[in-house]
A and B are shown apart, each in its own frame.
Chain A
Amino acid sequence: DIQVTQSPSSLSASVGDRVTITCRASQYIGSYLNWYQQKPGKAPKLLIYAASSLQSGVPSRFGGSGSGTDFTLTISSLQPEDFATYYCQQSYSVPRTFGQGTKVDIK
């Protein structure tokens, strides 16, 4: 199985901050990396697919980059509705695997 490791596991930030979350895969996965946002009591929501493609309807302050084994999710200016847990997920092979999550809360 391909392991995906996120860092940090949690972070505190203020509205307007630039936030960066990283994801590292245990082997080469090209650009087969997706990012999801999950709020309490809700299903995950797709934000970024194929490492850097913004899902329709997702605000442009979300951005993704990287390829190979190292990837980044960036929120350029954190908004109140962005406080949530973020997961990366590899779609290079099965079984599909997710990172352990990064919880973004209010500083």
Chain B
Amino acid sequence: QVQLQESGPGLVKPSQTLSLACTVSGASVNSGSYYWSWIRQPAGKGLEWIGRMYTSGTITYNPSLESRVTISVDTSKNQFSLELSSVTAADTAIYYCAKETSGGRDYFDYWGQGTLVTVSS
């Protein structure tokens, strides 16, 4: 059974960088036909896809956030990470990491529980 767990600070000051990690168990971040993704959800609102990393290392970002986002991987910890720079209150949201199964009909089949990040001074 695949499990994902987000970790990181719950409070970030405006203009600083938000940093989160997602620890994966039950699958390897660098093998298999999977994408490892970040998705966020402001309180009471819908879901926004931030970006993803393929097991080969290929990374794709949402153009709306691309200038501020970095996704990286630490294979020794079986983790992938998110950095979002120059944050504002608009970046306050629950951040989810998720596994997207690839292979013709892609879908998010496993999600972390989510972590609330608040941007405030």
- Which residues of A line the B interface, CB within 8 A? 1, 31-32, 34, 36, 42-46, 49-50, 53, 55, 87, 89, 91, 94-101
Contacts and interface: CB of A to CB of B under 8 A. Distances in A.
Nearest to B63: A95
Contact of B46 (A46, A91, A96, A98): A98
Nearest to A30: B105
Interface of B: 37, 46-49, 52, 60, 62-64, 96, 98, 100, 105-109, 111-114
Tell me the interface secondary structure of chain B in the complex.
strand
A91 B62 contact: no
B62 to A, nearest CB: 4
A95 B107 CA distance: 13
Contact of A49 (B46, B98, B105): B105
Nearest to A94: B60
Classify the secondary structure of A's interface with B.
loop
Nearest to A35: B107
A49 B107 contact: yes
